[in-house]
Chain A
Amino acid sequence: MTVGSPAPAHTTNPMHEEGNPAMKVELEADKCVASGQCVLAAMDVFDQDDDGIAILLEEQVGEDRLDDVREAVAVCPAAAIRLVDQ
């Protein structure tokens, strides 16, 4: 098994990762089930309204917060979050 340095997420184009760290977060709020898992994973990118539905605080995220947002994408039980190249 090969363990290299952290590789970019599958949604990124590796060619863009180094030079252009900012990625766009997409949230499908009507899929949201109000679990709040995204807030636990990336508190400065997501919040919840009074019904618990996720709110996007930042649409563009830089390299420093990509790991947290990727975690949020992975743990969202509704598959309502995507991270996309711009």
Chain B
Amino acid sequence: MVGASAAGLAAAETLRREGFDGTLTLVGDEPLAPYDRPPLSKQLLAAEWEPARLALRTPDDLAGLDLDLRLGVAATGLELTERTVRLADGSTVPYDGLILATGVRPRRLPGEGAHVLRTLDDALRLRDRLTTGRRLVVVGAGFLGAEAASVAWRLGCEVTLLEPAPVPLAHAVGTEVGEVLTRAHLDRGVDLRCGVTVTEVTEDGVRLADGQLVEADEVLVAVGSLPNTEWLAGSGLTVGDGVVCDEYCEAARNVYAAGDVARWYNPLFGQSMRIEHRTNAAEQGMAAARNLLDPEARKPFAPVPYFWSDQYDMKIQAYGFLRGHDEVAVVAGDLAEGRFVAAYRRGDRVTGALAVGMPPKAIRQWRQAIMTGADWDGTVPSGSRAEPVSGGAPA
């Protein structure tokens, strides 16, 4: 396994659990044992949790996996024909089977001195600076930026959130839901400015496309991620916004990919996707491991993606594939109250659901609808479609 985070760990555990007793090498570029990333922009940033709580497994559990653990060393090359992985320390690891789980890294902006938020080090560095009264500019009001903004606001920072789109996250969740998330920032006095493009980070803050300077003590850049695939250049694997795999997560014979870096064909939605969700990392790591171990019984990986986001007092939960939806309908609760379930249509099927502040049972039935590819007209009460609806993507 190349990549020692959630996907790589899940793959390793699955291989052992399913009876693989050969040498299992886990390579990770960070020097730390596998740890959990979602809390980095939540409990850890808020200083509610200390780093030790992020460990995905106890030292005993890890030891029980009997791993050849190569931490703090990045993979630098792959030789498919020789079946070897080259590491940054000059060593070479031979393999019979390979699982690629090298994840993503943050996109950056020109200029020095901005924070990003991907690793434990990143989060600790930022959290040291989030003291009362400090001016934080967050570039990008996606899920990560919004979570960080909400934590910083709670810590008493003066927060400015800069977003190029007219409504944050509208491309993913639709305009109406995006507006609910927008209101949460504005209600708390976070200075959310939409339709602005940041061109560079400067010593005093960030420079906008119109030349204006937005002053800040700290800048966090949260403008998406790039899959870590450069090390695979020339390997013969197909790389295109991720490691391209088939529906079994296989990229080449006995080579699989899992987690944030994997672009695979999800037969449930009939399309290729790359999902940067914590739950997908574990599920895909498990699926890839099983398919690698027992190719005769291999199964397509056809999950209903799931993610959650904590922003202020809202817990946002989403199932399915929301991007590129044709229609959104509020099927329970009320947008104005900030408690609702929204269903997403693509073609004639229910393909997504997003809930805020609703009990689990209200959400589960929608997951089921997505999993079974339920017909939209037969599932979504026509009354609920009287709510203002919109396409999240241009028609």
User: Which residues of chain A have a CB within 8 Å of any CB of chain B?
Assistant: 1-7, 9-11, 31, 33-37, 39, 48, 50-52, 70, 74-79, 82
Contact = CB atoms under 8 A, between A and B. Distances in A.
Contacts of B306: 35, 37
A86 to B, nearest CB: 16
B329 interface: no
Given A34-B308, A35-B308, A35-B317, A75 B279 contact: yes
B325 to A, nearest CB: 22
A34 B278 contact: no
Contact of A75 (B53, B61, B282, B359): B282
Contact of A1 (B17, B22, B282): B22
Given A33-B38, A34-B315, 18 more contacts: A1-B97, A2-B20, A6-B17, A6-B19, A7-B21, A9-B16, A10-B17, A10-B61, A10-B65, A34-B308, A34-B317, A35-B317, A37-B279, A39-B364, A74-B14, A76-B282, A77-B278, A77-B282
A30 B26 CA distance: 29
Interface of B: 10, 13-14, 16-22, 36, 38, 53, 55-57, 61, 64-65, 96-97, 278-279, 282-283, 286, 293-294, 306, 308, 315, 317, 359-360, 363-364
A12 B61 CA distance: 10
Contacts of B36: 78-79
A3 B279 contact: no
Contacts of A76: 282
A34 B307 CA distance: 10
Ranked nearest first, the 7 interchain pairs of A and B with the lowest CB-CB distance are A10-B64, A4-B19, A48-B360, A77-B278, A7-B19, A77-B279, A52-B360
Contact of A52 (B13, B22, B293, B359): B359
Contacts of B65: 10
A10 B279 contact: no
A50 B97 CA distance: 43
